[in-house]
Amino acid sequence: MFRLNITLSQGTHLQGLLSADKILAQSIAAALNALGKLLQPAVRGKVKVFTGREQRGVKTMVTGRGLQRTLWVYGELVQHFIDELGLPPGTFPPWGQGSDVYRYAQRKIKHAAPTGPQQQRVTSHVKTRKPSQTRGAARAVAKSKSSRGAGPRGRSPRGRVRIGPAATRTGGRLHPATRARLARERGVKQFAFLISRAIFERGIRAGEPFKRTLDQHRANIMATMQQAITDAVTKINRI
């Protein structure tokens, strides 16, 4: 807020005074737009970044007419409010597939370095069952064949269990690539749940990117506005 005192003296150019409001408004508007270009990247450098939307979501706008103009530096995402004001404990954010927390966990696990040597699983093709187990399995098969349709629900009339092509190719087991993918998905879900639980228990600390930017550039803002008014007064006196 600025207060302007206009003093009439001998030799005052009345034409300049008649245009004073317009000249001041133009000078203030130009100064506010220049400050917006300064403050916008400063705030973008302080917000927490995940997808890049957080930086792109920081906007500036000059509103008002004449001398009643206001520069707004604001964020249009919910993340900006949480980043600025924080989040108290008690909120359990969504963590399922498709949520921001899930995508965050997915990215962290994808770029995480392995913590130890990877052990390669060796599959033996030698039968390791004991003779007693082998004889027991043979008796079970013989009993199943003799039942001829009297087996439990879900079996064929001859007592055989139907196995899909994918399981048949790997001896009834999942393909190693499928097992690895399922293991990664389980890891992401567990990590996402732990993140949401930590937010629920401890909340999120306020980062205050907008307040810190204002405090950092407060002197520059005042100097810019004062220089804009000084330039306007100089122009008024020349007319």
Burial of 130 (0-12, 13-18, 19+ CB in 10 A): exposed
More reliable by pLDDT, 75 or 140: 75
pTM, entire model: 0.64
More reliable by pLDDT, 170 or 205: 205
Mean pLDDT of all residues in the chain? Answer: 79
DSSP H helices, 45-130, are: 53-56, 78-85, 100-111
Q: What is the pLDDT of residue 19?
A: 84
Q: What is the pLDDT of residue 167?
A: 46
Q: List, as own/partner pairs, every contact residues 50-59 make where C-beta atoms lie below 8 angstroms and the sequence separation is at least 24, other chains included.
A: 50/79, 50/100, 50/103, 50/104, 51/103, 53/77, 53/79, 54/79, 54/80, 54/83
Over residues 108-127, mean pLDDT: 55
Q: Angle formed by the axes of helices 209-238 and 20-44, to 10°?
A: 160
pLDDT digits (tens, 9 = 90+) for 49-102: 888 899 999 999 999 998 899 999 999 999 999 999 999 999 999 999 989 899
